[in-house]
Amino acid sequence: MGNLRMLFSSTKLPKFNTYADFRRIARRRVPSMVFDFVDGGADGELTLAANRRAFEQVVFEPRWMSDVSKIDLTTTVLGEKISMPYLLAPAGLASVVHKDGELAVARAAAKANTIFCISTGSTYSLEEIAAAAPTAKLWFQLYLWKSEEVVTSLIQRAKEAGCRALVLTIDVPAVGKRERDLTNGMSLPPRIRPSNILDAIWRVRWLSHFITGSEITFGNLRGIAAGDDASTVGEYTSRELVDPSVTWERLDWLRRQWDGPLVVKGVLSVHDALECVRRGADAVYVSNHGGRQLDSVLGAASALPAIVEAVNGRVEILVDGGVRRGEDVVKARALGATAALSGRPWFFALAADGQIGVERMLEIMRADIGRTLSLLGVPRFSDVDRSAIRPVSEPIQDGQK
């Protein structure tokens, strides 16, 4: 009897402990075409893999017997004090995985006292998101549209909604070739077809929202663009959001339009980082769009050291791409970033369990960053520097040749 009691414990195990847990449950909750839209990268997905490899190749060098009884994760990003150095990156179309979409993400970010960057392509409008989470620290991500009028009105709306920083994404002069989306016929809004009806029908919660909920489209563009065309997401974005003729002079123009903190996202080269500094950006956001744009570029963490060295403390450095664990955030700091962000982790957490899922994901991230600092022997996140790591095979060199 005693053994039986030992065998069957009534204590429930937490459902989610890792990124892999969120991803696995998300896969069960949404149809494959939706899962692939989030999970996939461009072309051969070489950069998608490189993002993880870049973090994996960095190893720590701990200093034992330091006093780590008090761990401090607080970080100041662009003048904003937040409770931890991990932020939620802009990613569009969140309602494609859960009815609450970006509203849930903003509420979870507010609870954790960290920043959520709203995407231009969010399903809820930035006003709806700001109203749903009045205490949230929000940023707004912008693409430079063909129409200057549209850009000006989005900037004005972001200002009025209380967004504290503007993030200009520069790595989309064309939309990357997302091969999984093409194979699956992923469109905006998603369409149930004979080829995927069996796949969708089992996802009861997703399907009932899909059938009865509001149309999944770009909330910020209501009244501006015809978002309910059944064109593919890529084609739609390419036609409406992207101006392939943009050059660095537009950043000067944008700098004049926005007097708050300005971040430039998608930087992978020293050249571009220096353009950002020269033209008055407040932060360089090193990113390859999670491997969704140009394939065969450096993993984001590998691009950091050269950029950090060239920028030389003049502006802050942010990074995303493959950040999955607390230790990645600490590695990013050791490589010179102020803080790190990610996209897929919150997207899958939202798909798996709505707002509670995103809250849990942030809790896990916070605990993991703290534990990593304890084990590393550095009690304050802000004290982590290059001495905390040793690159195994100097992946930084790869892209410099």
Of residues 169, 302, 338, 372, which one binds ligand FMN by CB under 6 A?
169
The residue at minimum Cβ distance from ligand FMN is 343
3-state class (DSSP) for residue 3:
helix
Nearer to ligand FMN, 121 or 190 (CB): 121
* Least distance (Å) between residue 92 CB and ligand FMN: 4
* Least distance (Å) between residue 26 CB and ligand FMN: 12
Residues 302-341 that bind ligand FMN (CB under 6 A): 320-323
The verdict on whether 289 is a catalytic residue reads: yes
Please count the residues of this chain forming the interface with ligand FMN, following the rule CB under 6 A: 24
DSSP letters of 233-250?
HHHHHHHHT--TT--THH
90 contacts ligand FMN (rule: CB under 6 A): yes
101 contacts ligand FMN (rule: CB under 6 A): no
* Least distance (Å) between residue 152 CB and ligand FMN: 19
Measured distance CA(234)–CA(38) in Å, rounded: 13
Nearer to ligand FMN, 124 or 347 (CB): 347
Select from 74-82, 130-138, 228-236, 284-292 the region that touches ligand FMN (CB under 6 A): 284-292
User: 42-81 mask for ligand FMN (x: CB under 6 A)?
Assistant: ---------x------------------------------
370 contacts ligand FMN (rule: CB under 6 A): no
Are the C-beta atoms of 132 and 162 separated by less than 8 Å?
Answer: no
Of residues 29, 60, 86, 92, which one binds ligand FMN by CB under 6 A?
92
What is Dmax (Cα atoms) for the chain?
A: 77
Partners of 265 in beta bridges: 169, 285
* Least distance (Å) between residue 96 CB and ligand FMN: 8
Select from 25-33, 108-116, 117-125, 360-368 the region that touches ligand FMN (CB under 6 A): 117-125
Are the C-beta atoms of 214 and 189 separated by less than 8 Å?
Answer: no
Select from 148-156, 212-220, 287-295, 370-378 the region that touches ligand FMN (CB under 6 A): 287-295
* Least distance (Å) between residue 253 CB and ligand FMN: 19
SS3 content of the chain, % helix, strand, coil (to 5): 45, 15, 40
Partners of 111 in beta bridges: none
Q: Which of 98, 209, 271, 289 is catalytic?
A: 289
Partners of 187 in beta bridges: 232
Of residues 99, 137, 325, 344, which one binds ligand FMN by CB under 6 A?
344
Give the up-direction half-sphere exposure of residue 383: CA atoms within 13 A in the CB hemisphere: 10
* Least distance (Å) between residue 195 CB and ligand FMN: 22
* Least distance (Å) between residue 167 CB and ligand FMN: 7
Which residues, other chains included, contact 216 with Cβ-Cβ below 8 Å and sequence gap of 6+?
A: 93, 95, 96, 123, 188, 189, 190, 210
* Least distance (Å) between residue 294 CB and ligand FMN: 13
Which DSSP state fits 16?
-
Of residues 47, 114, 342, 372, which one binds ligand FMN by CB under 6 A?
342
Select from 118-126, 151-159, 195-203, 378-386 the region that touches ligand FMN (CB under 6 A): 118-126
Closest to 215 in 3D by CA, of 186, 191, 234, 189: 189
Could you count the other beta carbons within 10 Å of the beta carbon of residue 279?
A: 17
What SS3 string covers 84-128? CCEEECCCCCHHHCCCCHHHHHHHHHHHHCCEEEECCCCCCCHHH
Closest to 240 in 3D by CA, of 172, 311, 296: 172
Measured distance CA(282)–CA(139) in Å, rounded: 14
Measured distance CA(96)–CA(34) in Å, rounded: 7
Q: In this structure, what token pair is assigned to residue 374?
A: 């304890």
23 contacts ligand FMN (rule: CB under 6 A): no
Measured distance CA(54)–CA(65) in Å, rounded: 29
Measured distance CA(236)–CA(376) in Å, rounded: 47
290 contacts ligand FMN (rule: CB under 6 A): yes
Residues 129-158 that bind ligand FMN (CB under 6 A): 141
176 contacts ligand FMN (rule: CB under 6 A): no
Of residues 30, 54, 73, 91, which one binds ligand FMN by CB under 6 A?
91
Closest to 196 in 3D by CA, of 210, 213, 175: 210
Residues at the interface with ligand FMN (CB under 6 A): 38, 51, 89-92, 119-121, 141, 169, 265, 287, 289-290, 292, 320-323, 342-344, 347
Catalytic (active-site) positions: 289
